[in-house]
């Protein structure tokens, strides 16, 4: 389970995608963020095959993103909830939601609104810089190898600069 090739890329985008990139994983998380907790509830909402859903949930539990816990013994019943690690994926979903609202929503507008409790307004996510607080945009971001880069990554970066 999980996409092995992705995990081997020494990349902080690829690594999460080794499990989030499996079909339905992110939509399962969406449901959990929306407060759905039960197997059948998620299954019905997404229309995902039950064998795939149980496999995805198992992977997410393995990864510590979701917690499976009984809410009833006799009969044994379980619910699924996001862990802190899972909740920290919120920016990923908000970013997708924002892009989807801009580019894929119909003429009537967004199917779902997000409300910021602190100000009470319907909002969208704006990415900002952790250091200066300014808005982050494609044009004002550059990349370079970090401390965890391997030799190959450093070499490629150097080659690219030279060219």
Q: How far is the CB of 60 from DNA (least distance, A)?
A: 12
Query: Hey, which residues between 34 and 53 contact DNA (CB under 7 A)?
Result: 38-41, 47-52
Member of 40, 71, 122, 155 binding a copy of itself (CB under 8 A):
122
Residue 61 binds a copy of itself (CB under 8 A): no
Assign 132 to helix, strand or coil: coil
The rounded distance, in Å, linking the Cα atoms of 91 and 125 is 8
Count of residues interacting with DNA (CB under 7 A): 27
Binding mask 37-56 for a copy of itself (x = CB under 8 A): --------xxx---------
Give the Cβ contact number of residue 77 at 10 Å. 11
Contacts of 102 (CB under 8 A, 6+ apart): none
Contact 104, 78 (CB under 8 A): no
The rounded distance, in Å, linking the Cα atoms of 57 and 14 is 20
Query: Hey, which residues between 62 and 81 contact DNA (CB under 7 A)?
Result: 68, 71, 74-79
Residue 22 binds DNA (CB under 7 A): yes
Q: How far is the CB of 58 from a copy of itself (least distance, A)?
A: 19
Identify which of residues 34 and 158 has a Cβ nearer to a copy of itself in the complex.
34
Task: Classify the phi-psi angles of 24: left when phi > 0, otherwise alpha if psi is within -120 to 50, otherwise beta.
Answer: left
**Crossing angle for the helix pair 39-46 and 25-33, to the nearest 10 degrees:** 120
Site residues, DNA (CB under 7 A): 1, 3, 5, 22-24, 38-41, 47-52, 54-55, 57, 68, 71, 74-79
């Amino acid at each position: 389970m999980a996409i092995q090739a992705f995990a081997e890329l020494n990349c902080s985008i690829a690594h999460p995608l080794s499990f989030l990139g499996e079909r339905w994983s992110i939509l399962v998380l969406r449901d959990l963020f929306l407060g759905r907790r039960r197997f059948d509830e998620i299954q019905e909402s997404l229309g995902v095959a039950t064998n795939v859903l149980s496999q995805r949930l198992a992977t997410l539990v393995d990864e510590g993103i979701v917690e499976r816990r009984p809410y009833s013994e006799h009969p044994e019943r379980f619910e699924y909830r996001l862990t802190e690690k899972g909740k920290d994926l919120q920016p990923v979903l908000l970013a997708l939601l924002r892009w989807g609202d801009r580019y894929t929503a119909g003429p009537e507008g967004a199917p779902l609104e997000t409300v910021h409790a602190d100000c009470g307004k319907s909002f969208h996510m704006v990415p900002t810089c952790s250091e200066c607080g300014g808005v982050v945009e494609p044009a004002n971001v550059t990349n370079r190898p970090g401390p965890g880069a391997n030799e190959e990554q450093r070499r490629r970066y150097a080659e690219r600069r030279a060219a």
